Amino acid sequence: MSAGLADTSVVIGLFRYVREPDVLPDEVLVSAISMAEIVQGPLFARTEADRRSRERLVLDAQRAFPEPIPFDGACVASYRSVAARTVSAGRHPRRRTLDLLIAATAQAHSLPLYTANPANVQHLADILEIVPV
């Protein structure tokens, strides 16, 4: 059985689209960082309909992933190499902090990272398996 960490873009896609992508692992895991991004979503809604849609997404994600992977000490240690790789690639870690924290979580737990935005983390491909969705 395969396992992988879905980033926020993939989690949102799971609840917004009709079918799951074929590339997802048998066990889809989610980080606490992704769940934090999702719960803040309704705060940025521009319309009432959008806010309701985002609230539904929060509830669906919380039901599907009641125990997200925490950002713990191992993730902090991994973040150092992720941030260093980002700087070496000529990028600034603050611009994509949440993406990089999620990538560090995947690296810390030896999980491939499933993302709909591979360009955001492609510079980490030599230290982390990245699976485009």
- pLDDT per position as a tens digit, 27-64: 999 999 999 999 999 999 999 999 999 999 999 999 99
Predicted confidence at residue 35, as pLDDT, reads: 98
The pLDDT tens digits of the residues spanning 64-107 come to 999 999 999 999 999 999 999 999 999 987 878 999 999 999 99
Domains of the chain, earliest start first:
1-133 (3.40.50.1010)
Q: What pTM value is reported for the model?
A: 0.91
Alpha-carbon torsion, ordered 71, 19, 62, 45, to 10 deg: 90
